[in-house]
């Protein structure tokens, strides 16, 4: 068989093997070519979002079979991507009392900024599935948008102010699972309480 013929056979097989789950890749004697979550240390980094609030997030994962046969830790940081506090018509010197009582303006909309820092314990149930659960710290900054009928404040009467009474820090509970999609990529699905929402992410893992 010529070199070109071998290349036409080898390259498609190599591409297919990269997309197969870990447990499908077998060497002679039944030993996995790429070890799974319960048989080899894995480190992962990824992107995670909490829908519908914090769409920008970064995560890190570490699992090792040396601890209870496949335990580890997980951490993430998530935050909102835009803030009324950065709006050119945000008025930091105006309070809720000023807007509603002094000016008599109408409440139009409310939004919150969130920053959450979380940590969790991870346990690999199988070579390709791990679950996690933990706690975190979340900081909420709440804003209100009002309409000034005289249009002397804001943009055509619309302006933002902060609402300290609805802002503050909270304890966040989170949990979910990591499921292997390919040899190197895992899909994350979970939920958390503060802010309440569904966590969706992708983690690139490295094992040996």
Structure confidence by residue, pLDDT tens digits, 10-29: 333 333 333 344 444 444 44
- State residue 35's pLDDT score: 64
Give, in order, the Cα–Cα distances in Å from 162 to each of 88, 91, 195: 14, 8, 18
Residues of the chain with CATH 2.40.160.20: 36-207
Calculate the CA 40 to chain-centre distance.
25
Task: Give the helix/strand (H/E) hosting 78.
Answer: strand 71-79
Statement: residue 45 has pLDDT above 50: yes
20-48 average pLDDT score = 66
Of 35, 34, 37, 57, the closest CA to residue 46 belongs to: 57
- State residue 208's pLDDT score: 56
**pLDDT grade, residue 40 (50/70/90)?**
confident
Range 36-207 classified under CATH 2.40.160.20 = yes
- State residue 37's pLDDT score: 86
Share of the chain above pLDDT 90, in %: 74
More confident residue, 123 or 67: 123
- State residue 207's pLDDT score: 62
Instruction: Encode pLDDT of 102-159 as tens digits.
Output: 999 999 999 999 999 999 999 999 999 999 999 999 999 999 999 999 999 999 999 9
**Residue 161: Cβ within 10 Å count:** 22
59-84 average pLDDT score = 94
Q: Which residue has the tokens 């609402």?
A: 163
172-182 average pLDDT score = 95
């Amino acid at each position: 068989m010529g070199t070109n013929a071998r290349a036409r056979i080898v390259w498609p097989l190599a591409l297919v093997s990269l997309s197969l789950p870990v447990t499908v890749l077998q060497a002679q004697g039944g030993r996995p070519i790429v070890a799974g979550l319960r048989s080899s240390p894995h480190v992962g980094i990824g992107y995670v979002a909490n829908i519908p609030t914090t769409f920008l997030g970064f995560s890190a994962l570490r699992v090792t079979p040396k601890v209870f046969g496949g335990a580890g830790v997980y951490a993430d940081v998530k935050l909102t991507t835009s803030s009324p506090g950065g709006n050119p018509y945000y008025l930091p010197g105006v309070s809720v009392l000023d807007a509603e009582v002094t000016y008599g303006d109408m409440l139009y909309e409310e939004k919150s900024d969130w920053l959450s820092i979380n940590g969790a314990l991870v346990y690999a149930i199988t070579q390709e599935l791990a679950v996690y659960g933990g706690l975190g710290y979340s900081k909420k900054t709440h804003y209100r948008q009002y309409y000034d009928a005289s249009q002397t404040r804001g943009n055509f009467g619309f302006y933002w102010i902060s609402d300290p009474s609805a802002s503050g820090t909270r304890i966040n509970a989170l949990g979910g699972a990591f499921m292997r999609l390919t040899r190197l990529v895992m899909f994350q699905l979970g939920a958390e309480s503060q802010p309440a929402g569904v966590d969706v992410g992708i983690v690139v893992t490295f094992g040996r």
